[in-house]
Copies of this chain bind each other. A is one copy, B any other.
């Protein structure tokens, strides 16, 4: 099991969290997604490591931008 943290910019509310969670959850291999609009922290748990590019693309798809923390 591996965890990766990202810092997301621009989330302001629960709807924003839900949008990010929805897109990141679609990634193959993702087991758990934790996301907080208050802190901007996105934590992705997966069985094997997922390329940052894939996670960042999912966040972009949701309408936000992120960097690996």
CB of A12 to closest CB in B, whole Å:
4
Which of the segments A1-9, A13-21, A42-50, A52-60 contacts the partner chain? A13-21
A17 to chain B, nearest CB (A): 10
Number of interface residues of A (CB under 8 A): 6
Closest to A11 in B: B13
In the complex, the chain B residue whose C-beta lies closest to that of A13 is B12
Looking at the assembled complex, report how far the CB atom of A38 sits from the nearest CB atom of chain B, in whole angstroms.
11
Distance in angstroms from A14 CB to nearest chain B CB is: 8
Q: For the complex, what is the distance from the CA of A13 to the CA of B13, rounded to whole Å? A: 7
**Cα–Cα, bound, A13→B15 (Å):** 9
Chain B neighbourhood of A15, CB < 8 A? 13, 15-16, 18-19
